[in-house]
């Protein structure tokens, strides 16, 4: 155990900033990529960022609920991936395109 190593505010701020940057990158990717699958990948990236923030905060408080939350995030991400990919497959079967803009008619 490396309990002696202090995990102070400074360290937490670093992790949180990194998490924010990652999240923003994911967000920007989600907004500007057109490929449906890449868009889902970007959401996964955002999940990652959130996970880092959770674990860092948990470490700061020595509270393991942060990590437990990451488990739930993993769960939700896996479920989301399964469903989203199933939907992509379904859409692809109808029209062989992964371009999100090709599915504008879904708004009706």
Partner 1 sequence: MDGVLPYIECFALLASLYLLLGRGSRATRALGILGGLGSLAWIYVAAGESIIGGEGVGREVLFMIFGVIAVSAAVRMITHSRPVYSAIYFVFVVLSSAGLFLLLEAEFMAFALVIVYAGAVLITYMFVLMLAQQASSPDNITEAPEYDRVAREPAAAVTVGFIFLTAVFGAIYQGVDRLPPPAGEIEKNIARAEVLESLTKQLRSSIEEVEPSFQWPPEADGNQNIVFADDEGIYVIGKTDAGDHQTVRLGTSAGPRNTQFVGWDLVGRFPASLELAGVILLLAMFGAVILARRQIEHGEDDLRAAVGMTRLFDYEEDDSSDEEGSSA
Partner 2 sequence: MILTSCFNSMIMAAVGDGLPETLPVKMDEVRVATEHWWAGFILYMPLISLALCGLCAAMKVKSKLPAWITTGSLLTSFIFSLLLYFDYSGTPELIPILSWINLDWEGGSFAANFTFYIDSLSLLWVMFVTGLGTLIAFYASEYMETDLGKGYTRFFSGVSVFLFAMVALVLGDNLLMLYLGWEGVGFASYWLIGYYYQRPAAVAAAKKAFIMNRIGDLGLALAIYLIWATFGTIQYDELMTVVADGSWKAGYEGWAIDLIPWFLMLAAFGKSAQIPLYVWLPDAMEGPTPVSALIHAATMVTAGIYLVARTYEFFLLAPESLHVLAWIGGLTALLAATIGMAQYDIKRIMAYSTVSQLGYMFLGLGVLSTYGAAYHVFTHAFFKAALFLTCGTIMHGFAGQLDLRKLSGLLKIPGWRITSIAMLIGCLCLAGFPFTSGYFSKDAILAEAFITQGPGFEALGWIAVFTAFLTAYYTFRVWFRVCLGKVEYEPGDDDHGGDDHGDDHGHGHGHGEGFHPHAPRFAMNFVMAAIAIGALVAAVPYFMPNHADEKLAGGWVADMVHDSTARGGLPGLDRHGVPLSEFDAHHADGHHDDHGHAHHTLFGMDAHTAMYVISGVVGSLGIILAAWLHLFRREDADRLRAALMSRWWIAWLPRAMEHKWYVDEFYLALIRTPLWISSHVMYAFDRYIIDGVLVDGIARIPRMIAKWFQPLHNGILHSYAVTMAGGVALIVLLMILFLQFWNVGGAG
Six-digit token pair at 43? 């959401």
Q: Least distance in Å: CB of 106 to partner 1?
A: 15
Q: HEC string of 49-100?
A: HHHHHHHHHHHHHCCCHHHHHHHHHHHHHHHHHHHHHHHHHHHHHHCCCCEH
Cβ–Cβ < 8 Å for 99, 34: yes
* Residue 94 binding partner 2, by CB under 8 A: no
- Which pair of structure tokens corresponds to residue 36? 């449906």
Q: Does 40 bind partner 1 (CB under 8 A)?
A: yes
Q: How far is the CB of 15 from partner 2 (least distance, A)?
A: 19
The answer to the question of residue 107 lying near partner 2 (CB under 8 A) is yes
CB 92: neighbour CB atoms within 10 A?
13
Q: Is 22 in the site for partner 1 (CB under 8 A)?
A: yes
Nearer to partner 2, 33 or 59 (CB): 33
Give, as ranges, the residues between 25 and 84 that touch partner 2 (CB under 8 A): 27, 30-32, 34, 39
Binding site for partner 2 (CB under 8 A): 27, 30-32, 34, 39, 100-101, 103-108
């Amino acid at each position: 155990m490396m309990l002696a190593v202090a995990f102070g505010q400074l360290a937490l701020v670093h992790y949180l900033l990194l998490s924010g940057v990652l999240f923003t990158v994911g967000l920007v990717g989600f907004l500007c990529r057109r490929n449906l699958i890449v868009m889902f990948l970007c959401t996964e990236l955002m999940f990652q960022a959130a996970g880092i923030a959770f674990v860092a905060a948990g470490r700061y408080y020595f509270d393991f609920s942060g990590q437990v939350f990451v488990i739930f995030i993993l769960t939700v991400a896996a479920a989301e991936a399964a469903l989203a990919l199933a939907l992509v497959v379904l859409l692809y079967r109808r029209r062989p395109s992964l371009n999100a803009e090709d599915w504008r008619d879904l708004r009706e």
